[in-house]
Structure 1
Amino acid sequence: MSAEPVDPAASPAGRRPAKKEPDGYTAAHLLVLEGLEAVRKRPGMYIGSTDSRGLMHCLWEIIDNSVDEALGEHCSRIVVVLHADSSVEVRDDGRGIPVDVEPRTGLSGVEVVFTHLHAGGKFGGGSYSASGGLHGVGASVVNALSARLDVEVDRGGKTHATSFRRGVPGRFAGEGPDAPFERTTGLEVVGRAKRGVTGTRVRYWADKQIFLKEAEFSYSDLVARARQTSFLVPGLSIVIRDERGLPGTPAEHGPHEETFRHDGGIGEFADFLAPDAPVTGVWRLQGTDHFRENVPVLDDDGHMTVTEVERQCDVDIAVRWGTGYETTVQSYVNIISTPKGGTHLAGFDAALLKVLRKQVEVNARRLKAGGKDDKIEKDDVLAGLTAVVTVRLAEPQFEGQTKEVLGTAAVRPIVARVVERELTAILTSAKRDEKQQSSMLLEKVVAEMKARVSARQHKETQRRKNALETSSLPAKLKDCRSDDVARTELFLVEGDSALGTANVARDSEYQALLPLRGKILNVQKASVADMLKNAECASIIQVVGAGSGRSFDVDAARYGKIVLMTDADVDGAHIRTLLLTLFFRYMRPLVDAGRVFAAVPPLHRIEVIGAGRKPNEVVYTYSDAELRRLLADLAKKGRRYKEPIQRYKGLGEMNADQLAETTMDPGRRTLRRVTIADAQGAEDVFELLMGNEVAPRKDFIVAGAAKLDRERIDA
């Protein structure tokens, strides 16, 4: 008898787990999103987010359609209105969206543009040689994400209109997105247009089902974009009108309107963006080149066929160098901002570095730049540069609908060739003005290179040394013992006389002292190299230990607080201003982080005689007005005080106990935190008080002379 083989799966001991049933998973479970449903399901894919940023992106899409008309010289005026009912309206005097029937869909051109993804007049180069809209989804995405969208088109002597509700065409019987809605198709003629008048008006209400409750249109962002666009499209007028009446906006007390128009183009834009005094004028680098690429083109039969086409790329760049070290570079493709750069910016950077390296090598003897470490780097070239880089071409390739990075590879060598040719011509020009500016630019670049090398050498020696290492920090520094950065404090003390008292008054565990000899260099006027050569400035940068300028690393700072401790007089205020100028220009992240403080030393010491056996009470005042109020109060209460009242001429007149109590003891002192609530305003004030222009400073002093208290003059 032969035994039959046993299936392990059938036996209790060797049973395999049964395969799970598919639970009826079939093709019927697959969801196909058609038309604009995909946009509503995944809005972030098209507009980035559903907060205020996404809301503004929708508005940019509609505005950019009007700007594209202006780029084609068909439009001269765009009006954007923020209505009080949360809607927004964009009007232009362009050609108007086509109202005739599109043969393949049987719909009017307006309906095709607003209801079909990847539909528009910007494919194949038929209607727009260069445009901001590229993918044909902008208007349709905005429509899909709107509770209501109304369109009016002036064309052919008639005004055509239609409306949409979340992408569906129809008619509203009333105002606002909640009015009764009837689904219909086709355009309705609602009026007559004057002969020759054309244009488009789009008004929409963003869908509250899609966008976050707190999402709102930013007036400041809209104004910035309008100003930017008016620079990029010379001759175009853009009107921004806010009727919302929101608190904290210019329209808080009634409708507010601003108009932007700049005929000077990107040259004027570069001047507007520049944060510092000029080293060179605004130089325009312009050129045109061609390239070939394979693209799908719609043939006469409605089929997409891959065809090799020739493209034209227009390059227009404005560059200008200033006395500062900050870099401001903005890049655009067909007026669309590319904040993350792309191939056009890569070509610009490469050519800029190549040209200036070559010119420095040619002039190395005059510039004294022949050392082994004297190699120009990108940061040296970019220091103080303000540039606007624009290219125009048909159907550029972007990374995503938000168009933040240009990807068309052929643009890089074209921009590089234009920059190399045009910039070399300027730097080698025999014209007096250009020759003088070129010389100043090369000297600045070399100075930045030498400053970078010096800053690197400083940084290498700025690490805190332990007891077994030799310290390269200044000998006059009275350092603290703690290495806990969050707790440590560095006092910049005016004068050696105050140092002795402060040294006794401090807590040497966490408080360090660095004495300053008189008034430091005015770094608002001086070059980076001169600043680093100045002994006091170099000592401060070395002791802080985080570098300077663009190489500054706030996380490497050796102290948690920097306290400016100067006398309570005019000279002390001047020294404090000079120190703040240094920190503002070269160690600004410390100020931004709220780690720079000004000590508030008292001006007077009053010893109030105690009643009976009570001990005398010491009171400090910080201004003459405060002193007068205190004395009046004491007189009213019938209390006496010792004469004469002690008036401090400087910190050195205080004894250690008084200095600790008023200025250094964290439990009793008063410190004033230095902040930058308005960075641009601070920049303007520093430039006025410490800059090269004397006339504005003189006017400021004369205008404020009547407010000066003559008693405060230390003479």
Structure 2
Amino acid sequence: MAERYSAKDLSVLEGLDAVRKRPGMYIGTTDSQGLMHCLWEILDNSVDEALAGACTRIVVTLHRDGSIEVADNGRGIPVDVEPKTGLTGVEVVLTKLHAGAKFGNASYNAAGGLHGVGSSVVNALSSRLDVEVDRDGVTHHMAFHQGHPGSYDDSDPTRPSPDSPFHRTRKNRPTPLDVLGKVGRRTTGTRIRYWADPEIFNETARFSYQQLIDRVRQTTFLVPGLTIVVIDEQIQETGDDSLDEMREVDSSDDPVTERDDGDVEDGGKTSPDDSDDDERPRSDDDADPRDSRTDAAPAAARTADHRRVETFQHTGGVRDFVDFLSTGEPVSDIWHISGRDTYREETQSVGSNGELTAQEVTRECGVDIAMRWTNGYDTTIRSFVNVVETPGGGMHVDGFLQAVARQVRKAVEANARRLKVNLRDSAVRVERDDILAGLVAVVTVRIAEPQFQGQTKDVLGTAPVRPIVSAITDQQFGEMIFGSRRGYKEQSARVLDKIVGEMHARIQARRTKEVTRRKNALESASMPSKLSDCQPGNDDIAELFIVEGDSALGTAKAARNSRFQALLPIRGKILNVQKASVSQMLSNKECSAIIQVVGAGSGPGFDIDQARYHKIIMMTDADVDGAHIRILLLTLFYRYMRGLIEDGRVYAAVPPLHRIALSGKRKGEFLYTYSDDELAGKLTDLRSRGIDFNDDIQRYKGLGEMDADQLADTTMDPRTRMLRRIRMEDARAASGVFDLLMGDNVPPRKQFIIDNADDFDRSNIDT
């Protein structure tokens, strides 16, 4: 008989318990990504204050104890009582899901945090959270443990800890705000410090300082004039005088008593009068009445012993952002597109009685886009709604690309004779990929209550934004690409030349697609004559060795296992495809042979499922020239067969540099070393153990100096060899490295070599 199932088997999670039970629903994951997402939620709230014109400075402090504090000089979370719940605004914001000022139109016209769950979710997933609010001439304070309000008994108030005794407020009772001291009447701001709960985040969760810096930098690009300071107390560096202007909280000896139910009672504090405001220390900002708030900062940042401090502020907006993202030689200047328009949208409005009613409202959409073309081939498009990045794009990106493609095609048709484009050839048509090659763009829109797909806000779904962005881009970009706007004629000609060049290269690549397709055993006769292929039927284990030079090829033929190991020799250093066009690459014998032998195509048409080999192994000499050949090969794989690297199929063979012949009782045995340092250490070890060896130590100048047995044992036999897999964990960073090391711009490469010469680590080669 089945077990009885009744209402008593149902569970009802109240308040923030649902967040702790299913954190992935709110922050995506409980690893490093979720850990960083919590910080973005708190930081975005402060940035929203800046977007509203109420905040000029934000300070993010990474404390020694692992806690994080975000401070701003915005308006401060409301401290008065919210009528419906009977709780202060602070407690509502930090304990109630879907609560906040961003569901209406009055307080935030454009904001990043719109679901009303950000701060409360961070609170729920923190072992401790403290909030301080400067309003009405005093500093208000409230503390939380795993989302529940109450108070802590810290033995040292200057060093709060989540391990301190906690007194939870009685259930269904409001928690009064503590008053910590007085501030000036015009001083406002919010400081939130939280400790991520180890019970929630798994062991792999790690905080990324670089992600924080990248996020802060991009935010200051998107909010011109906003200053964001990042303080890392775990790294000692020189002090920063800019922090001397941080506000100081007036000390007070007035007693604060605690009632048995956990509520806190003010021990007789009086509100400061206007004379207190006049007597507070003034900063330079007070001279401007629009910026009368003093700078907010964590308490630890007000001491003279500052830690690592990085300050970010940009005034050029998205123009500066595109300039920062650009690599390589520019084909055009930075083109700027901006405008505004309105649209109608039906939304649910919260009435005075708390009920939702449908109404149609007029929204304003602000568009701000910067773009330029460079001589590279990669595309960099960063998109944002307000200040929230949308890596998945959405309606704003679709509208932008649609308009750019339409205007470029019109311009190509209008200039067909100069560009030598045959419009009667149906195959000759500019595709979006031709336009995107080398394009760097930042697309931003500012709208009220945007519709995102999910809490992580990866894609914008507000449909009316697309035609607005498209219309504004159509009009302004059209004037630029046709050269009718003053100063754009020469630039537009260069851009069109590049796009048409990409189109011709794509068409030529398509025509060679049959040559680069996968070859089976029956087609092996059409392969390059210098290929020594392996036996068919071993696709799951087949290996292609790209061998440097014909001399090494002879030895490798005798050393390989022809059942599954193929050999393709190359002559020295191949073409640097980072500097060459697609047509130049395809016309190069070595590059075209490699693409043909791999058999999976190249560029956008690359299909890893068609690859003839499971592993691609670069086998070059263990010297500087060998390393140079490997980087040239890697550049070819990265630019035109990137899927091989992403799938972990590209390897570098690791041949030895020395062979030590043992003597005495161990005569006939050999040891191999791979660097001079390893050789010295190995010889010292042999002497200390009393093992005899021949003083005539063989040093290999190249692969050709090995005999077949030696090459097989050290470099080719899967049972004894050592391979180094080429990895690519960050595609954007990898693209920057290839452009720096292999591109046309020499001065940055020279400076990189100078800056990193002292820290060179040979073990990092090919990793």
- Structure 1 length-normalised TM: 0.81
Contact kept, 8 Å, 1:149 with 1:164, in 2: the verdict is yes
SS of corresponding position for 1:509: coil
Contact kept, 8 Å, 1:172 with 1:182, in 2: the verdict is no
The Cα shift of 1:159 comes to 1.9
Correspondent of 2:215 among 221, 225, 236: 225
Matched AA of 1:271: D
Give the corresponding residue for 2:186.
Answer: 196
Tell which deviates more after alignment, 258-267 or 99-108. Answer: 99-108
Correspondent of 2:166 among 158, 161, 179: 179
Correspondent of 2:461 among 407, 414, 417: 407
Contact kept, 8 Å, 2:327 with 2:739, in 1: the verdict is no
d(CA) in 2 for partners of 1:424 and 1:550?
28
Matched AA of 1:180: H
Give the corresponding residue for 2:278.
Answer: none
d(CA) in 2 for partners of 1:479 and 1:58?
54
Matched AA of 1:372: S
Matched AA of 2:458: E
Contact kept, 8 Å, 2:111 with 2:448, in 1: the verdict is yes
Q: 1:245 to 1:445 in 2, by over 3 A?
A: same
Give the corresponding residue for 2:496.
Answer: 442
Give the corresponding residue for 1:283.
Answer: 335
Q: 1:333 to 1:586 in 2, by over 3 A?
A: same
Q: CA-to-partner distance for each residue in 1:336-380, whole Å, 9 max, x for gaps? A: 122222221222232232222322333333334434322232333
Structure 2 segments unaligned to the other structure (5+ residues): 155-159, 237-304, 760-767
SS of corresponding position for 1:339: coil
Contact kept, 8 Å, 1:145 with 1:166, in 2: the verdict is yes
Tell which deviates more after alignment, 675-684 or 173-182. Answer: 675-684
d(CA) in 2 for partners of 1:24 and 1:515?
72
Give the corresponding residue for 1:93.
Answer: 73
How many positions carry a matched residue from both structures?
678
The Cα shift of 1:409 comes to 0.9
SS of corresponding position for 1:420: helix
Give the corresponding residue for 1:269.
Answer: 321
d(CA) in 1 for partners of 2:355 and 2:449?
18
Contact kept, 8 Å, 2:521 with 2:536, in 1: the verdict is no
Correspondent of 1:316 among 368, 371, 383: 368
d(CA) in 2 for partners of 1:318 and 1:464?
42
d(CA) in 2 for partners of 1:496 and 1:361?
50
The Cα shift of 1:706 comes to 13
Q: 1:23 to 1:262 in 2, by over 3 A?
A: same
d(CA) in 1 for partners of 2:128 and 2:729?
40
Does 1:48 pair with 2:48?
no
The Cα shift of 1:428 comes to 1.5
Give the corresponding residue for 1:535.
Answer: 589
Q: 1:320 to 1:308 in 2, by over 3 A?
A: same
Contact kept, 8 Å, 1:153 with 1:159, in 2: the verdict is yes
Contact kept, 8 Å, 2:384 with 2:444, in 1: the verdict is yes
Matched AA of 2:613: Y
Does 1:563 pair with 2:617?
yes
Does 1:583 pair with 2:573?
no
Correspondent of 2:225 among 232, 235, 243: 235
d(CA) in 1 for partners of 2:706 and 2:479?
64
Q: 1:627 to 1:75 in 2, by over 3 A?
A: closer
Matched AA of 1:292: R
Q: CA-to-partner distance for each residue in 1:29-49, whole Å, 9 max, x for gaps? A: 776655545545544433334
Contact kept, 8 Å, 1:145 with 1:206, in 2: the verdict is yes
The Cα shift of 1:195 comes to 3.9
Tell which deviates more after alignment, 544-553 or 124-133. Answer: 544-553
The Cα shift of 1:136 comes to 2.6
Q: 1:280 to 1:528 in 2, by over 3 A?
A: farther
Matched AA of 2:437: A
Does 1:62 pair with 2:116?
no
The Cα shift of 1:384 comes to 2.8
Q: 1:530 to 1:158 in 2, by over 3 A?
A: same
d(CA) in 2 for partners of 1:276 and 1:447?
17
Matched AA of 1:158: V
Tell which deviates more after alignment, 76-85 or 236-245. Answer: 236-245
d(CA) in 2 for partners of 1:122 and 1:698?
50
d(CA) in 2 for partners of 1:145 and 1:622?
49
The Cα shift of 1:126 comes to 0.8
Does 1:297 pair with 2:349?
yes
The Cα shift of 1:524 comes to 1.9
The Cα shift of 1:648 comes to 7.4
Q: 1:377 to 1:96 in 2, by over 3 A?
A: same
d(CA) in 2 for partners of 1:115 and 1:130?
23
The Cα shift of 1:68 comes to 0.7
d(CA) in 2 for partners of 1:637 and 1:407?
72
The Cα shift of 1:540 comes to 1.1
Matched AA of 1:113: V
d(CA) in 1 for partners of 2:2 and 2:561?
76
Q: CA-to-partner distance for each residue in 1:201-255, whole Å, 9 max, x for gaps? A: 1223445555546655443333332222122112212222334689xxxxxx995
Does 1:332 pair with 2:384?
yes
Matched AA of 1:587: M
d(CA) in 2 for partners of 1:651 and 1:388?
49
Contact kept, 8 Å, 1:326 with 1:550, in 2: the verdict is no
Structure 1 segments unaligned to the other structure (5+ residues): 1-19, 247-252, 708-715
Does 1:516 pair with 2:570?
yes
Does 1:156 pair with 2:157?
no
The Cα shift of 1:490 comes to 2.1
Tell which deviates more after alignment, 114-123 or 621-630. Answer: 621-630
Contact kept, 8 Å, 1:245 with 1:254, in 2: the verdict is no
d(CA) in 2 for partners of 1:697 and 1:244?
32
Matched AA of 1:221: Q
Give the corresponding residue for 1:544.
Answer: 598
Q: 1:571 to 1:405 in 2, by over 3 A?
A: closer
SS of corresponding position for 1:538: helix
Give the corresponding residue for 2:256.
Answer: none
**Which of the pair has more CA radius of gyration?**
1
Give the corresponding residue for 2:745.
Answer: 693
d(CA) in 1 for partners of 2:482 and 2:85?
59
Tell which deviates more after alignment, 525-534 or 273-282. Answer: 273-282
Correspondent of 1:360 among 396, 412, 418: 412
Q: CA-to-partner distance for each residue in 1:105-155, whole Å, 9 max, x for gaps? A: 444333333344333222331111111122333333333444443322212
SS of corresponding position for 1:585: helix
Correspondent of 1:135 among 107, 115, 118: 115
Give the corresponding residue for 2:253.
Answer: none
Q: 1:294 to 1:85 in 2, by over 3 A?
A: same
d(CA) in 2 for partners of 1:540 and 1:226?
43
d(CA) in 1 for partners of 2:657 and 2:177?
79
Q: CA-to-partner distance for each residue in 1:395-439, whole Å, 9 max, x for gaps? A: 112233332222211001111112222222221225796434333
Q: 1:618 to 1:125 in 2, by over 3 A?
A: closer
The Cα shift of 1:599 comes to 4.6
d(CA) in 2 for partners of 1:619 and 1:404?
54
Give the corresponding residue for 1:9.
Answer: none
Correspondent of 2:51 among 62, 71, 87: 71
SS of corresponding position for 1:460: coil
Contact kept, 8 Å, 1:461 with 1:472, in 2: the verdict is no
